[in-house]
Structure 1
Amino acid sequence: MKAKYLLPLLAVVSFTSSAMTLTSKDIQEGSRMADTYTYNGFGCSGDNQSPQLSWSGAPEGTKSFAITAYDPDAPTGSGWWHWMAIDIPASQQSLKRGESPKIPGATELHNDYGVKGFGGVCPPKGDGMHRYQFTVWALPMAKLDLPKGASNALVGFMLNSKALDKATLTATYVNE
């Protein structure tokens, strides 16, 4: 009788594999980020530079990219958005270190610090290790249609609902 219910459950499970990759000369998967990428404010003192990023393997039909940086460990109940760059032309496959907030052709939105562009890492002192998820999103439209003043949560929802594919690189930081 249990097998009768297992088959329908298995039928709805699907597995997809991402062809996209995201790499960086500045940050590595699972490794601590340098102070170069630390925010300068909120009790932190760093250079607040966005890291170099490169991506490849975007699916056919990609018309633009978006880049986000998100800390799911922030003590807010909803995480912390460090970066939202949308409408990056499909012809672009990388960003230089410190290129934010002037990415050619892109729109950079307000991060959770309240400023446009990249806002570096800055977990509260003594809060332990935080993860920083840098994600590149392949989108089927040249411009993401957002209402004026859209929240970062709404942008995240739109990216998740529209993306053809995505790739994530997760780095860490501890503020001791």
Structure 2
Amino acid sequence: METKELTFQEVLDTEEWLLHYCIKQLHIFKNKDEFYQVGLIGLWEAYKRFDPSRGVTFRTFAYRTVRGKMLTLLLKAKKYEDRQATLTDAMVELTEDPNPDFPLEIETILLYCEGLTETQKKWVILYFVEGRGQKEIASIEQVGQETVKSWRRYALQKIRKNIESMK
């Protein structure tokens, strides 16, 4: 077949089976559309580069080109798969945080809360960890805003002392 006399669409119409044949021969079952697309690109390159003076039929040349493109993609996919770590269910269980809402924040903040009263610690957690405001904290704890202000003032004083003593 002289490919320069035919358009690519005509070549595709007669040689499309080659793409499906290569996919089946290489046992490709995932991402078939992607491999089909790569096969189309290979067929296009074969159409553009084919030289009948080399003594090879177009079909043979196209088969080698299409199969080579698909093998290259398979190799890249395999390398990618090998380099990617996949999490198994057991790994997820091992890495799962028992307190997912506030992972290590509470533990870290409470290190600085040595010597604070329970209400002052509540204020620290509600304010710094949960991001609640003074009015909200007063509403949650059912106290006045002035009481929350005093928790804040004394808590911050004690936290500053704790930080200074850690240096």
Q: TM bucket by the smaller chain?
A: under 0.3
Higher relative contact order (CA 8 A, sep 6+): 1
Q: Specify which structure has the higher proportion of strand.
A: 1
Q: Specify which structure has the higher proportion of helix.
A: 2
TM-score when normalising by structure 2 = 0.23
Q: Which has the larger radius of gyration?
A: 2
TM-score when normalising by structure 1 = 0.22
